[in-house]
Amino acid sequence: MRVGIVGAGITGLALTHALAERGVDSVAYEAAAEPGGVIRSSTVDGVTVEHGPQRFRLTDAVADLADAADVTDDLVTAPEDLPLYVYADGRLRRAPLSLSAFLRTDLLSITGKLRILGEPLTDPIEPTETAASAFRRKFGTEAYENLIGPLYGGTYASDPAAMPAAHALEGLMRLEAREGSLLRPALRRILDRGDSAPPVTVAGGNQRLATGLASTYADRVTLETPVEAIHATDDGYRLTLPDGTDVVDAVVLTTPAPTAASLLGDVADGAAGLETLTYNPLAFVYLRTEYDRPGLGYQVRRSEPLSTLGVTWNGAAFGRDGLATCFLGGMTDPAILEEDDETLSEIAAREFETVTGSPADPFAVTRHDAAIPAYDDSWDALDALSLPTDVHLATNYTARVGVPGRIREAKRLADRFASA
């Protein structure tokens, strides 16, 4: 078995690592000059900024990958029990991520808290309802508007009212079917919070995780070499490269949907539908601030008169020189990205001061036209996609976003190849 991996983002690199551990031969081809995909870091005015994920959870699988990348000693873990906030009714209010915080939070009234406790009495999530309707029905309107909507919608830069449960809540529906409700596993997670994986970054930039893995597996990872076409052969698949071809037994594509659509045209039915998948645009505005309230940052309730979706306190949580990263755009306000960088910077700084009471100095802007999968009705196109047995998609649009999730999918695929 020899596996050809298209793309050396975190999924491709995690798969490379997992296959190597299992003794399965592989080769990864990356079109860009640097590995990492959406995990990209740089230094601007002496400050390390992230152009992709700002942090991730230090699960056992992430720790294993960090060790393989030789960055374990450079992991920066956030202090224990750092809160996350929601800005609502003119104040930052602590999101209840523990039992004591749930009892104390002023995001929810007593009635709202009691309504959440009634979740086990509600009907299961229906695939045809939206994420918003499912959350409202199961946990109540107050919990949705003040807590779930800001946190869930902020994570995906999306509008839960435009996200069908079949695409957006597939994992929750499986969990509900297994546990009988969503509240029981949620309470169990809250009560076991001391054992949960802490938020972490890599000193010098999260992209060092990717560059370290590419260095460790330099014999398996080839940069600046795009796969231009994929064709089936009698005994595998031929990858067309700029300077020749390579034949492999199986192919895993980890690329964005439009790239996958063009590469799969000759080997998979329904591949053209991948071009129709919708992504949400985002702008990151980087701020310097002396604001030092302990916490991971905040999300903004959608009914507030602000354009900001949320802010990560990179400085307060991870010691990055007073850095805060503000997020604008998403599904709810894509038109704001038509503004120039100066205007976006002014909006981010002004609204940061409105929320925190502290001034901020914007110093850089990053734009992503296709930042995060929308998981909206366009995902119906995946129903028509039929892949050959030995061709796989391992992506954030066929599974879920987030570094730990990408690693889990890579390990599952590696187990499958190892047992073939």
pLDDT at res. 10: 96
Q: How far is CA 52 from the centre of its chain?
A: 9
Tokens representing 284 are 């990151």
Nearest to 323 by CA among 294, 362, 295, 354: 362
CB distance 236 to 246 below 8 Å: no
229-253 residue pLDDT tens? 999 999 999 999 999 999 999 999 9
75-130 residue pLDDT tens? 999 987 889 999 999 999 999 877 788 888 999 999 999 999 999 999 999 999 99
Burial of 46 (0-12, 13-18, 19+ CB in 10 A): exposed
145-179 residue pLDDT tens? 999 999 998 888 989 999 999 999 999 999 999 99
pLDDT band at residue 192 under the 50/70/90 scheme:
low
Answer yes or no: is pLDDT of 227 > 90: yes
Packed helices 170-179 and 183-191: angle between N→C axes, nearest 10 degrees: 90
Q: How far apart are CA 18 and CA 8, in angstroms?
A: 14
Q: Averaged over 370-386, what is the pLDDT?
A: 94
pTM of the model: 0.94
Q: How far apart are CA 302 and CA 149, in angstroms?
A: 8
Quick one: three-class SS letters along 39-90? CCEEEECCEEEECCCCCEECCHHHHHHHHHCCCHHHEEECCCCCCEEEEECC
Per-residue exposure over 33-42, b if at least 16 CB sit within 10 Å of its own CB, e if not: eebbbbbbbe
3-state secondary structure of 199: strand
Q: How far apart are CA 47 and CA 28, in angstroms?
A: 31
CA distances from 333 to 69, 248, 281, 282, 400 (A): 38, 44, 9, 9, 22
Answer yes or no: is pLDDT of 400 > 70: yes
Nearest to 396 by CA among 260, 271, 278, 255: 255
